Amino acid sequence: MKGKKGMVALGVLLAVFLSGAVAQAAEPIKVGAILAVTGPASFLGAPEARTLEMLVAETNAKGGVLGRKIELIVKDSGASPEKAFSFAKQLIEEDKVFAIIGPSTSGETMKIKAVAEEGKTILLSCAAAEAIVNPVAKWVFKTPQKDSDAVLKIFEQMKKMKISRIGVLSGNTGFGNAGKGQIEKLAPEHGITIVANEVYDKAASDLTAEVTKIKAANVQALINWSIVPAQAIVIKNARQIGLTIPIFQSHGFGNIKYVQAAGAAAEGVLFPAGRLLVADVLPKSDPQKALLVKYAKDYESKYKDEASTFGGHAYDAYTILIKAIEQAKGPDKEAVRTAIENLKGFVGTGGIFNFSATDHNGLHVDAFEMLTVKNGKFAIH
């Protein structure tokens, strides 16, 4: 009898152990997101949050990743670096998240880089400033294309148009400051002379004075570098005072709502962007086309709103994270971080990513197309 009782007891213990192991294995993987869902950068953060919610629902409907569901915790920073900082500490120290996606803006990301590093937590930023990943920080990556590559794409187009004298307007945000710096740095080696250079407030509602200074400088083109709604006001005011020169925008123009805000004045605006905005006209042979068309269709059918490059940045951050977890065979932070760093040929909305120990962005100038606004829509120039 002792033998039978011992076997029963052993069986009970084994069952308890296995049920505990199963319960532990089934614990969700917590992913934090710090996004500007509301406020001046909501054109960025709102589609990013929606995209993540859509993707997490898809992942969990399929049983999760390696049998574990994803628990998404979204914090609305309103584009405030101070709020982003507070949320980052909360997500890492209290919520114990595995990784953080976002923030939406460069200023916020720069504010929380050190928090991610100290907390040894993967940060996949949805912001563009090159300083986010240059110099490389061990735990910090970003999915939008680099500022410097966007500037190079613009300068390539200017060379074709025989433009050499330009005016620059930039918003007083982290993104605006970083882009301004890249324009100033790269202009001389590309035969570009900046003859007017103005910074405007991100909350501005009238920028007539600034565009008037640009007009007085007798420039051949204007670069307007911003991610905030004021960038649409620049375009409207420029056309209102009779400034007819080409207007170039940064890759922060990739949401059709900016075009709608500028109205007819946006016609002919040029800007570099990923291929998501023109997915329907890409050739079938394009390696990104199938993914871009599916994402745009899924997003637009679910939210009754047009997909934007900003939602695409969140798409890339999330899918890169999931791929890395799969490759690492589980949510081990160091293993997943290493997997991201070694990811090659990964097709995303922003381009084809090739990360390395010295490149935590993984994209280059060929990730861009030069786009224009034609009949109120985005088109390949």
232, burial (CB in 10 Å: exposed 0-12, middle 13-18, buried 19+): buried
pLDDT for residue 7 is more than 80: no
Q: What percent of the chain clears pLDDT 70, i.e. is strictly above it?
A: 93
| Strands of the chain, DSSP E | 29-35, 70-76, 99-101, 122-125, 140-142, 165-171, 193-200, 221-225, 247-249, 270-273, 346-347, 352-353, 369-374, 377-380
Residue at a domain's end among 227, 242, 273: 273
Listed residue (219, 218, 184, 216) closest to 199, CA to CA = 184
CATH number, residue 230: 3.40.50.2300
- For residues 158 and 245, membership in a common domain is answered with yes
Tokens of 24: 């532990």
Q: Which residues pair with 200 in a beta bridge?
A: 171
Q: Which residue segment(s) compose the domain that 200 sits in?
A: 149-273
70 pLDDT more than 70: yes
Last residue of a domain, one of 247, 273, 299: 273
Phi-psi map region of 221: left, alpha, beta (phi>0 left; psi -120 to 50 alpha): beta
Could you read off the pLDDT of 208-254 as tens digits, one per residue?
A: 999 999 999 999 999 999 988 999 999 999 999 999 999 999 999 99
- For residues 268 and 170, state if they share a domain: yes
Is residue 280 included in any domain, yes or no?
Answer: no
Strand-pairing partners, residue 205, are none
For residue 122, the SS3 value is strand
The DSSP symbol for 229 reads T
- Domain membership of residue 38 (yes or no) is yes
| Res. 5: pLDDT tops 60 | no
3: confidence class by pLDDT, cuts 50, 70, 90 = low
174-184 burial, b for 16+ CB within 10 Å, e for fewer? Answer: bbbbbbbbbbe
Residue 155 pLDDT level (bands cut at 50, 70, 90): very high
In a shared domain, residues 131 and 199:
no
The mean pLDDT value of the chain amounts to 93
Residues 237 and 341 in one domain: no
Cα separation, 243 vs 248, whole angstroms: 13
- Could you read off the pLDDT of 252-308 as tens digits, one per residue? 999 999 999 999 999 999 999 999 999 999 999 999 999 999 999 999 999 999 999
Quote the CA–CA distance of 140 and 123 in Å, as a whole number: 5
Question: Of the candidates 215, 248, 273, which is a domain's last residue?
Answer: 273
The number of distinct structural domains making up the chain is: 2
Tell me whether residue 9 is in a domain: no
pLDDT the model gives residue 228: 86
